[in-house]
Amino acid sequence: MYMQDEFGFSVSEVGILYIIGAVPSVIGSKLAGGLGNKHGRWIVIMGGMIMQGSFFALGPKDNFPIEVISLLGLGLGMGLVDGCAPAMLGQVSEISHESTGIVYTLNTMAVQIGFIFGPVIGSIIMEHHGFGVMSIVLGFFMILVSPVMLYNRDIDKLYEEKKAQEKNEKLDL
């Protein structure tokens, strides 16, 4: 609705514009696997979150080239997160629960909660302060919570230790 009001775009033009974010998302997803294996999935996810927050907060929002740059950065950040998060969740669940089912169930629940509360909170902020302020607030919030990934920085080492322990147990049998 913002792009329709601010730039006079039709619904189909807004939809086409969002392809600008989809292409870097696909590229980011492709790059994320290799980067996650090389540097650690947690750091790729944290970097993707910071990238998304930074580009979401980028302004001024009434400048079309800035909107395009925002969509490009958002898409790349999303791709980095989406490309590494499932593998890291699998490792966490294997370490903590010895199976993957519960973590993916919790992931699905968290995504659904985000789809409920994100638009509600964003709409409240936007109604009272405008789209630009809402973008800044939500972008900085994403940057603010990204250090939570530091909690997962030892996941690769713990996962390898668990696999080595399981291998040793099989050899002992």
Give pLDDT, residue 50.
96
**Which tens digit of pLDDT belongs to each residue from 88-136?**
888 888 887 776 677 777 778 888 998 898 889 988 998 999 888 998 9
Q: How far separated are the first and last CA of the chain, in Å rounded?
A: 64
**Which tens digit of pLDDT belongs to each residue from 2-38?**
788 888 888 888 888 888 889 999 999 999 999 999 9
**Domains of the chain, with CATH numbers?**
2-172 (1.20.1250.20)
Give pLDDT, residue 63.
86
Please name the residues in contact with 29: beta carbons below 8 A apart, sequence gap of 6 or more: 79, 80, 82, 83
**Which tens digit of pLDDT belongs to each residue from 144-153?**
999 988 888 8
Residue 173's pLDDT band (cuts 50, 70, 90): low
Question: How does DSSP assign 118-170, residue by residue?
Answer: HHHHHHHHHHHH-HHHHHHHHHHHHHHHGGGGGGGTTHHHHHHHHHHHHHHHH
